[in-house]
Structure 1
Amino acid sequence: MNQKNYTILNEKKIRQLQKKDISKVSKHLSISKSLACTLLRENNWNANSVFEEWFSDEEKVGESVGLLPEQVSLNPPPPGDNLLCKICFETFKIENMSSGPCGHPFCTDCWKSYVSVSIDDGPGCLGLRCPELECKANPGLELIDLLASKYHKDRYYRYLLRSYLEGSRKRKWCQGPGCNLAVQIRYEELENYEELKNYDVICDCSYGFCWNCLEERHHPVGCRIVRKWMKLQTSDTDNSKWIASCTKKCPKCRKKIEKNEGCDHVTCPSPCRYEFCWLCLSPWKLFHLCDKYNKRKDKERRLESTREKLKRYAHHSERWAWNHKSRETALDKLRLAKKYKLPFAIEALEQIVESRRVLKWSYAYGYYLDSTEKHKVIYFRYLQGEVEGALEKLHRYAEKEIVKYAKVNFPLDDFTEFPARLVDATDVARSCTEKVVRAMANDVSEAETRRFSWVVLRDLFPRNRCRILFVRNMVLILGGYCIVSNLRFWFKEICGIICLLMLMLFIVSFGRRLVRRLQ
């Protein structure tokens, strides 16, 4: 949906729509507004649903809301008679008694206490029932207006207003902090209801959210991924996994120990000072060999796999959180720029806010990207790197360099070039962001048509294929080193030295070529 197919509603407009729906049902069914309100609320404020149920079986609908048939309706006693209140068991004159649409009378004081306590309990007061045993009737708006205090009346109508929004399919509250506006979708203008599955709306308070899942705008990332990611963010499961995979208990004192570097010889901190092998947890000996298969080693391999998964999650989670924080900071600066009417800075800051939003959700998308499809992962990370590089440059122009032009005596010659540089940086950031959006929308299908793993090397070395082969050979040698890493100590050391020398040669060659290209 390119055009804006929704309307922003304030509280006054919402109340007008609610009264209009109540009056419509009351007029068509020839019933009181109180009863019309009850029927609408029980049908999620859908007038068509109320009409269908009423005309299909009027008597059944009436009984469900406590309306008594005319032949058994309660006849009011003659004026001047005393009636017994079944709550306080005292007798009162008919003038001091009140009743709902069902006609069951109770004293005014008991009604007031009953209504006020129900409203104090919360939104459940909308389902208030007559105190009479087995009576299903709702006292209705008239009784609330008559007996409730101003404080309780305001609370009741606020609950009723929220019920009107929350029970409707085409209206939802804005999710922005402190915002009291609502959004109404115009369904008649939609070509297909499937469009709402990933549809972003922007309230007048400038907060944007997804219509389907009510989370912050996350297009083009799907709601399913966002739900999984947000659940992961609020879960303590990963903390437990980290403790299980990155720590072990001392075999002697059972204290948790974390080992993040060094050899397998571990000494428990004071006062225990027990020495043991990290892999098999057996006592450490002078010539300790831990090379025979046992269940502990199998468990260690599983824990290593868990550690790698946790590192991958930490990588994406940290960048997701950083982009979220950076976007909030940019939003604050955008509000200031709009306040002081700085047009050349507003567009740049708006692009920073949008790019940070896309980059933020790209890390949630990247976390669930299939890690076995290496070409997709590499290409997507490359696109993310492009956006980050373009944003850093734009941040420098829009946040740091602009400060010197805020002074009274700023260099006028430099300022004439500054807006052009700012616009160029904004265009580059926009272009890079659009690439990431297209990649996520198409499930990174572009990576299928190009061998991205060698694209960067071909750009750096366009005429020298030998160096590409050299890199490939290095990868094979390093892979071989990983294979023989379980052999004798001296052999591992020789392999390590050979790989280190080849790596140094490659770095020198790579650096020279890169310097020449930059020059």
Structure 2
Amino acid sequence: MDYSDDDGMLNIESGEENLYIDHTSEADYGMEEDMHNDSTSKRDQISYIVLKEEDIREHQKTDIKQISTVLSINQVEAIILLLHYQWSSSKVEDEWFTSEERVRKTVGMLKEHMVDLNDQDVNIGCGICFESYLRKEIATVSCGHPYCKTCWTSYITEKINNGPGCLMIKCPEPSCYAVVGQDMIDKLITIEEDKEKYCRYFLRSYVKEGKNNIKWCPSPGCVYAVDFGTRNGTENYVVTCLCSYDFCWNCSEDAHRPVNCDMVLVRTATVISRRTRDVTGDDETKVKRKRAKRVKRTIDRYMHYYVRWANNQSSRLNAMEDLKELQAVQLEKLSVKQCFSQTQLQFTVDAWLQIIECRRVLKWTYAYGYYIPREERTKKQFFEYLQGEAEVGLERLHHCAEEELQHFVDETDDPSTDFDDFRKKLIGLTKVTKTYFENLVKALENDLADVAVDDSK
């Protein structure tokens, strides 16, 4: 079918579970070398660090100590400044040394009380409940407005339960802009759940608000962050978290090489279908009928690529389940029957990991194919040839890793003399398939630059 071009494409949740890698307790350093064609300049290696929560806390402590030392203020005040300026130490220092007084007023760190309590007063009235309390039962921040500790606790707890805004709580007095320091929160909040909430907001603020080079892993429930470091102009943002989730650091979507982020973050078929219903319901005029046909062609073209995209995603999820089955059941059987240790059988796991990765790449090649301009017939033909060869190679590997392996799991009780030949075959297919797909990614990221486009005829 001769499809017309449009600008809708895939934006679907992956639904993937975390994969199967055991990591050490220290921060993992990922290094991935991108391959590029000799006709273009090679990209720099991509280095990134996967940060655990304790690593992020250490970064926070370092920044807090630095600001406290440089500005000669206590750490509570340093925290207030860093939170206000989104953890930018340089911004804090620039603003502070330009005008300390203005900064103090802006963030709510007052040098002098707005309200002075009479030292002679034994009982002091709370500004919230209006009861009288002994001085030791009253607490104030830098403004001096007096409130009983019970009211302070209720006020702060409510702010914590309302979300991350609790990191910069202001005095309860409506006209006051004095900020509540972390020291008061530590003293008054005793419920462990509320403490944990506050600490979690405080920790996450360092990544979410302050560091452009650090992002939280988008996998549900993951507690790790990724420090991407210096980008060096690279367009390869694929990172692997300690939870084993592969994602694009740039757009935080599922890893989508070889296509770029712009191809991923687009409209879904639902939007196009809604447009179709709007225009096909009334065919009173020739213009509307033509428009309806054009939109139908657009949808047909979209679905041609989307169905294949979705099929590969489904196959990838199935491969993940097959890998789980291999690791949970089949490796032990193979180890006993073939007299191989499970370490020696790692080549079977490697094969399935490669299948999973190939399915991911193949899935996104359909997004790439969707965006090849209609008039570039030579490029499209070459792309379809490469894609077809990739599918054939992947199916060959899949058949060997699944059906041929199953023979040695189920159909023999004694060590097979053919198992070593099978091992060599599977290792070879894994290597060949990996190389082909790496070259496919390289070619598509280079936009098939070696293709001589002459479709004017």
TM (norm. structure 1) is: 0.71
Partner of 1:456: none
CA distance in 2, matches of 1:404, 1:74: 84
Q: RMSD in angstroms over aligned alpha carbons? A: 2.5
1:7 and 2:81 equivalent?
no
Cα-to-partner distance string for 1:229-272 (whole Å, 9 max, x where unaligned): xxx23x63222234356x657xxxxxxxxxxxxxxxxxxxxxxx
- Compared CA separation, residues 159 and 79, structure 1 to 2 (3 A): farther
Q: Secondary structure at the match of 2:86?
A: coil
Measured after TM superposition, the shift of residue 337 of structure 1 is: 4.5
How many residue pairs end up in the alignment? Answer: 397
2:275 is aligned, of 232, 241, 246, to 241
Partner of 2:374: 371
Partner of 1:99: 140
Cα-to-partner distance string for 1:113-136 (whole Å, 9 max, x where unaligned): 111111111122223111123222
Does the CA-based 8 Å contact 2:171-2:179 persist in structure 1? yes
Q: What are the equivalent positions in structure 2 for 1:93-132 lying under 5 Å apart?
A: 93-132=134-173
- Compared CA separation, residues 410 and 361, structure 1 to 2 (3 A): farther
CA distance in 1, matches of 2:286, 2:390: 43
Partner of 1:397: 400
Give 5+ residue unaligned stretches, structure 1.
250-279, 281-294, 454-519
CA distance in 2, matches of 1:428, 1:305: 43
CA distance in 2, matches of 1:74, 1:32: 23
Q: Secondary structure at the match of 1:399?
A: helix
Does the CA-based 8 Å contact 1:175-1:214 persist in structure 2? yes
CA distance in 2, matches of 1:7, 1:311: 43
Partner of 1:268: none
Q: What are the equivalent positions in structure 2 for 1:108-507 lying under 5 Å apart?
A: 108-148=149-189, 149-167=191-209, 168-187=211-230, 192=232, 194-195=233-234, 197-228=235-266, 232-233=267-268, 236-244=270-278, 248=281, 296-335=285-324, 337=326, 340=331, 341=342, 342-407=345-410, 408-409=412-413, 412-448=416-452
Does the CA-based 8 Å contact 1:404-1:410 persist in structure 2? no
2:108 is aligned, of 59, 62, 66, to 66
1:86 is aligned, of 111, 121, 127, to 127
Partner of 1:36: 78
CA distance in 1, matches of 2:427, 2:55: 40
Q: Secondary structure at the match of 1:445?
A: coil
- Compared CA separation, residues 69 and 416, structure 1 to 2 (3 A): closer
Partner of 1:488: none
Does the CA-based 8 Å contact 2:127-2:145 persist in structure 1? no
Measured after TM superposition, the shift of residue 24 of structure 1 is: 1.9
Measured after TM superposition, the shift of residue 50 of structure 1 is: 0.8
Q: Which amino acid aligns with 1:447?
A: V
Does the CA-based 8 Å contact 1:380-1:439 persist in structure 2? no
CA distance in 1, matches of 2:144, 2:326: 63
Cα-to-partner distance string for 1:424-476 (whole Å, 9 max, x where unaligned): 3324423432343133112123332699x9xxxxxxxxxxxxxxxxxxxxxxx
Measured after TM superposition, the shift of residue 411 of structure 1 is: 7.3
Does the CA-based 8 Å contact 1:118-1:128 persist in structure 2? yes
Cα-to-partner distance string for 1:178-197 (whole Å, 9 max, x where unaligned): 3211222334xx6x2x22x4
Which structure has more RCO (C-alpha within 8 Å, separation ≥ 6)? 2
Q: Secondary structure at the match of 1:102?
A: coil
Does the CA-based 8 Å contact 1:173-1:182 persist in structure 2? yes
Does the CA-based 8 Å contact 2:111-2:142 persist in structure 1? no
Measured after TM superposition, the shift of residue 155 of structure 1 is: 0.7
TM (norm. structure 2) is: 0.80
- Compared CA separation, residues 438 and 5, structure 1 to 2 (3 A): closer
CA distance in 1, matches of 2:306, 2:83: 42
CA distance in 1, matches of 2:454, 2:386: 14
Q: Which has the higher helix share?
A: 1
Measured after TM superposition, the shift of residue 40 of structure 1 is: 0.5
Q: Which amino acid aligns with 1:366?
A: G
Q: Which amino acid aligns with 1:238?
A: I
Measured after TM superposition, the shift of residue 163 of structure 1 is: 0.7
- Compared CA separation, residues 202 and 79, structure 1 to 2 (3 A): farther
Q: Secondary structure at the match of 1:221?
A: coil
Measured after TM superposition, the shift of residue 32 of structure 1 is: 2.5
Give the greater-gyration-radius structure (CA).
1
Q: Which amino acid aligns with 1:395?
A: H
Does the CA-based 8 Å contact 2:238-2:249 persist in structure 1? yes
Does the CA-based 8 Å contact 1:383-1:435 persist in structure 2? no
Does the CA-based 8 Å contact 2:139-2:147 persist in structure 1? yes
- Compared CA separation, residues 31 and 103, structure 1 to 2 (3 A): farther
Measured after TM superposition, the shift of residue 81 of structure 1 is: 2.6
- Compared CA separation, residues 434 and 398, structure 1 to 2 (3 A): same
Measured after TM superposition, the shift of residue 87 of structure 1 is: 1.5
Measured after TM superposition, the shift of residue 313 of structure 1 is: 0.7
Measured after TM superposition, the shift of residue 369 of structure 1 is: 1.8
- Compared CA separation, residues 440 and 119, structure 1 to 2 (3 A): same
Q: Secondary structure at the match of 2:285?
A: helix
- Compared CA separation, residues 79 and 360, structure 1 to 2 (3 A): farther
Give 5+ residue unaligned stretches, structure 2.
1-31, 34-44, 332-341
CA distance in 2, matches of 1:119, 1:175: 24
Cα-to-partner distance string for 1:310-356 (whole Å, 9 max, x where unaligned): 01111111111121222222233335555643322122212212211
- Compared CA separation, residues 337 and 76, structure 1 to 2 (3 A): farther
Deviates more, 1:364-373 or 1:425-434: 425-434
CA distance in 2, matches of 1:80, 1:104: 15
Cα-to-partner distance string for 1:119-160 (whole Å, 9 max, x where unaligned): 111122223111123222221111111111222111111111
Does the CA-based 8 Å contact 2:312-2:362 persist in structure 1? yes
Measured after TM superposition, the shift of residue 220 of structure 1 is: 3.0
Deviates more, 1:106-115 or 1:3-12: 3-12
Does the CA-based 8 Å contact 2:258-2:441 persist in structure 1? yes
CA distance in 1, matches of 2:387, 2:159: 54
- Compared CA separation, residues 344 and 401, structure 1 to 2 (3 A): same
